[in-house]
């Protein structure tokens, strides 16, 4: 997939500049906030003081003081309005200060300074997600600047845990490449969506997609329209002497009875529609940002089209709904609501307007939110594109290719100053990469680097590599194995179950014409060396027979000598260096080399932690 090159940029410098600018603006706004607060207090006190003077000091000529009180109170109201506007600006600026601060921490990989990103609970038990650190603290999800809305979080999580087809990956890459430089738009969308995502919109969506209540009771709708008119006509008739009896009183009584009979049902509907109201109003701005952006990629145009109904953009429809929800909220103010409801049957008219909105736009509401969630997910991937300008978009090729070919591939969660890149090839089918080396040399890190970059590639994101070419893949991993005391499952049994699931998935992939990529770290470490080799041979041989490709890390170099696996083994290794200056300290360069490892360091590590003297032990 070809992408236009972007001008070179320094993301840290851009974030630093925006952080300084918004921090200065925040301080200035805080100063204005304090001044307006004091002015508000002064205006209110002046209004009360003027009334006091008018009542008790100069009751014989209070006119001037009444005027002063009115002016002071009008000033107070104007300052309240101004303070509301100022508070909105403060919320925006503070959010942007936080977003740019977090961006700098993301780039530096200072995990302790970043909030733990919320992700859908259904992915908590995904072994691949756990092995490859996709979610949680210090994770792939965290360096993406996760979306704010529920649909955005779910979309991004789904993209990171399920591989897209090559055409879909290409469409996402094009959208991500376009959104990457649009830092201002992405940050505005991020903080607005975060505000919208604090409450669950599902009750509103259930109402929007459901059946109308009042429209199915047409008689009640017409009664609610007719009774207020009859009430007015009856009152006028008595006022001008056409009738002597207060017929209007009877109509008013009927209004009250109808209100009591149906009020609870209607108010329950109002609560479902509003989702506590703040949530709905908060969606207007994200929709406005999304539909108002000037974009050229096909995917982004499609998303904008999906965020409209009958030619009207979603933000306009949501704005009209918010107005109706404001009117529905009148019942929260009993002093005002009771007489208005009794005279006009207010609730029925508002519900009628809401159901007319429901008929026009209700079925489109979920589509709007899903499209906004997809845009947020693309924006998160574009954040990675902006934050890591040296990363590249991978090439995802057709199914018949069975090789993962990477140049300069590195672990995406390690700070750029410490990460080490290696050229790695996994495949073709019928072979597996055997990674050997001593403790702490980088074997597990390599497996995770391969897996994480495949995850990013198949989500449509850039990858931490100079070049990556791969076929569509299913991923299976066995890296982090945990026993379970509660379930009575030992470490060895837990690993066997994981390997069983991987073998089953490999068979299913072969049946579907998919390619499996497996990453196995220290396979079957929970048993003795002889049985480990026999079991490992069976597992790996079966995976090879299915056409799966993969990498296996181990300390057991005897795996490469097994006749059944020898021809399929592509050996690579890491090594350590023991300093020759007398202190015996070890260092690692994390460079991948061809062939099998020839050194061990377990006894040396024992010595370094004070558990006895070590003597050099050559490998067999």
Listed as ranges, residues in the chain with pLDDT below 50 are 5, 277, 486, 488, 614, 617-620
Instruction: Identify the burial level of 448 via C-beta atoms within 10 angstroms of its C-beta, where 0-12 means exposed, 13-18 middle and 19 or more buried.
Output: buried
Q: What is the pLDDT of residue 614?
A: 47
Is residue 387 domain-resident?
no
Helix (H) or strand (E) segment spanning residue 551: strand 549-554
Q: What is the pLDDT of residue 486?
A: 47
- Let me know whether 354 and 220 are in one domain: yes
- Let me know whether 365 and 420 are in one domain: no
Number of domains making up the chain: 3
Strand partners, 572: 435, 594
Instruction: Identify the burial level of 382 via C-beta atoms within 10 angstroms of its C-beta, where 0-12 means exposed, 13-18 middle and 19 or more buried.
Output: buried
Largest CA distance in the chain: 118
CA distance 309 to 231: 39
Which residue range(s) make up the domain with 207?
202-376
**How far is the first Cα of the chain from the last one, in angstroms, to the nearest whole number?**
47
Q: What is the pLDDT of residue 578?
A: 66
The count of residues in the chain is: 620
CA distance 145 to 100: 11
Q: What is the pLDDT of residue 400?
A: 67
CA distance 417 to 422: 15
Please give the full DSSP string across 332-387, using - where no structure is assigned: G-HHHHHHHHHHH-HHHHHHHHHHHHHHHHGGGHHHHHHHHHHHHHHHHHHHHHHH
- Let me know whether 301 and 440 are in one domain: no
Q: What is the pLDDT of residue 178?
A: 97
Give the count of beta carbons closer than 10 Å to the beta carbon of residue 69. 20
**Residue (of 292, 18, 307) closest to 149 by Cα position:** 307
Please give the full DSSP string across 54-71, using - where no structure is assigned: IIII-TTS-HHHHHHHHH
**Residue (of 166, 168, 146, 167) closest to 155 by Cα position:** 146
Domain boundary among 108, 138, 159: 108
Give the count of beta carbons closer than 10 Å to the beta carbon of residue 23. 16
Is residue 192 domain-resident?
no
- Let me know whether 497 and 563 are in one domain: yes
- Let me know whether 461 and 525 are in one domain: yes
Is residue 139 domain-resident?
no
Q: SS3 sequence, 298-327?
A: HHHHHHHHHCEECCEEHHHHHHHHHHHHHH
- Let me know whether 369 and 405 are in one domain: no
- Let me know whether 215 and 346 are in one domain: yes
Q: Are the C-beta atoms of 210 and 397 separated by less than 8 Å?
A: no
Q: What percent of the chain has pLDDT over 90?
A: 64
Interior CA angle at 199 toward 195 and 200, to 5°?
130
- Let me know whether 514 and 591 are in one domain: yes
- Let me know whether 306 and 412 are in one domain: no
Cα Rg for the chain, rounded, in angstroms? 34
**Residue (of 465, 436, 15, 395) closest to 170 by Cα position:** 395
Helix (H) or strand (E) segment spanning residue 285: helix 278-292
Q: What is the pLDDT of residue 604?
A: 57
CA distance 314 to 357: 12
Q: What is the pLDDT of residue 606?
A: 53
Q: What is the pLDDT of residue 309?
A: 76
Q: CATH number of the domain that 533 lies in? A: 3.40.50.300
Q: Is the peptide bond before 565 cis (omega within 30 degrees of 0)?
A: no
Is residue 145 domain-resident?
no
Plot region of 600 (φ>0 → left; ψ -120 to 50 → alpha; else → beta)? beta
List helix spans (H) across 516-596: 529-545, 563-566
pLDDT, tens digit, 9 for 90 and up, residues 163-186: 999 999 999 999 999 999 999 999
Q: What is the pLDDT of residue 277?
A: 47
CA distance 51 to 334: 28
CA distance 539 to 166: 30
Helix (H, G, I), strand (E, B) or coil at 3: coil
Strand partners, 519: 477, 551
Q: What is the pLDDT of residue 488?
A: 45
Is residue 423 domain-resident?
yes
Phi and psi dihedrals of 25, rounded to 5? -65, -40
- Let me know whether 349 and 411 are in one domain: no
Domain boundary among 84, 108, 132: 108
- Strand ordering across the sheet containing 467-470: 395-396, 467-470, 404-409, 422-426
**Residue (of 467, 380, 465, 374) closest to 180 by Cα position:** 380
pTM: 0.87
- Let me know whether 100 and 241 are in one domain: no
Phi and psi dihedrals of 597, rounded to 5? -65, 150
Is residue 127 domain-resident?
no
Distances (CA, A) of 326 to 229, 320, 329, 350, 402: 24, 10, 5, 10, 59
Domain boundary among 79, 108, 137: 108
What DSSP designation does 165 have?
Answer: P
Please give the full DSSP string across 425-484, using - where no structure is assigned: EE--TT-EEEEE--TTSSHHHHHHHHHHHHHHHHHT--BSSSEEEE--EEEEEE-----B
* Beta pairing class for 549-554 and 515-521: parallel
- Let me know whether 269 and 308 are in one domain: yes
CA distance 456 to 476: 15
Is residue 616 domain-resident?
no
């Amino acid at each position: 997939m070809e992408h236009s090159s972007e001008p070179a940029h320094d993301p840290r410098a851009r974030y630093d500049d925006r952080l300084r600018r918004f921090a200065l603006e925040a301080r200035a706004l805080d100063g204005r906030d304090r001044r307006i607060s004091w002015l508000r207090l002064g205006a209110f006190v002046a209004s009360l003081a003027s009334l006091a003077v008018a009542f008790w000091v100069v009751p014989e000529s209070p006119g001037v003081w009444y005027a002063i009180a009115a002016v002071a109170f009008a000033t107070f109201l104007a300052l309240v309005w101004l303070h509301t506007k100022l508070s909105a600006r403060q919320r925006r600026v503070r959010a942007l200060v936080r977003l740019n601060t977090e961006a700098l921490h993301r780039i530096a990989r200072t995990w302790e300074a970043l909030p733990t990103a919320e992700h859908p609970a259904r992915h908590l038990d995904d072994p691949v997600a756990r092995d490859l650190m996709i979610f949680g603290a210090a994770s792939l999800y965290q360096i993406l600047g996760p979306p704010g809305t529920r649909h955005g979080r779910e979309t991004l999580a789904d993209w990171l845990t399920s591989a897209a087809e090559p055409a879909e990956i290409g469409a996402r890459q094009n959208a991500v490449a376009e959104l990457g430089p649009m830092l201002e738009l992405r940050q505005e969308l991020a903080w607005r969506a975060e505000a919208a995502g604090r409450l669950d919109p599902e009750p509103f969506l259930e109402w929007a997609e459901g059946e109308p209540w009042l429209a199915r009771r047409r008689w009640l709708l017409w009664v609610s329209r007719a009774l207020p008119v009859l009430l007015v006509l009856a009152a006028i008739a008595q006022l001008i002497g056409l009738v002597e009896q207060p017929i209007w009183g009877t109509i008013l009584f009927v209004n009250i009875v109808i209100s009591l009979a149906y009020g609870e049902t209607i108010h329950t509907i109002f609560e479902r529609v509003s989702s506590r109201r703040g949530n709905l109003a908060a969606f207007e701005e994200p929709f406005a940002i999304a539909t108002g952006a000037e974009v050229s990629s096909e995917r982004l145009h499609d998303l904008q089209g999906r965020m409209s109904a009958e030619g009207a953009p979603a933000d306009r429809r949501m704005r009209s709904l918010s107005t109706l929800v404001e009117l529905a909220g009148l019942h929260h103010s009993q002093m005002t609501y009771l007489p208005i409801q009794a005279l006009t049957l207010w609730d029925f008219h508002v519900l009628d307007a809401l159901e007319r909105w429901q008929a026009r736009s209700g079925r489109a509401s979920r589509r709007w939110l899903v499209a906004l969630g997809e845009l947020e997910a693309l924006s998160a991937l574009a954040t990675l594109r902006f934050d890591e300008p040296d990363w590249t978009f991978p090439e995802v090729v057709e199914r018949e290719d069975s090789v993962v070919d990477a140049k300069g591939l590195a672990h995406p969660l390690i700070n750029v100053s410490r990460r080490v890149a290696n050229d790695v090839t996994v495949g073709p089918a019928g072979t597996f990469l055997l990674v050997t080396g001593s403790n702490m040399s980088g074997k597990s890190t390599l497996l995770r680097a391969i897996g994480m970059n495949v995850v990013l590639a198949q989500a449509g994101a850039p990858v931490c590599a100079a070049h990556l070419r791969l076929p569509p893949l299913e991923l299976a991993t066995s890296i982090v194995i945990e026993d379970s005391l509660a379930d009575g499952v030992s470490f060895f049994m837990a690993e066997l179950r994981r390997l069983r699931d991987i073998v089953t998935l490999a068979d299913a992939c072969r049946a579907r014409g998919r390619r499996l990529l497996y990453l196995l770290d220290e396979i079957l470490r929970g048993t003795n060396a002889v049985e480990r080799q026999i079991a490992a041979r069976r597992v790996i041989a079966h995976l090879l027979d299915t056409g799966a490709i993969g990498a296996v890390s181990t300390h057991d170099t005897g795996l490469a000598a097994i006749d059944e696996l020898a021809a399929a083994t592509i050996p690579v290794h890491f090594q350590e260096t023991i300093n020759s200056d007398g202190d015996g300290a070890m260092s690692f360069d994390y460079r991948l080399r061809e062939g099998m490892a020839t050194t061990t360091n377990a006894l040396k590590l024992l010595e370094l932690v004070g558990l006895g003297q070590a003597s050099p032990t050559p490998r067999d």
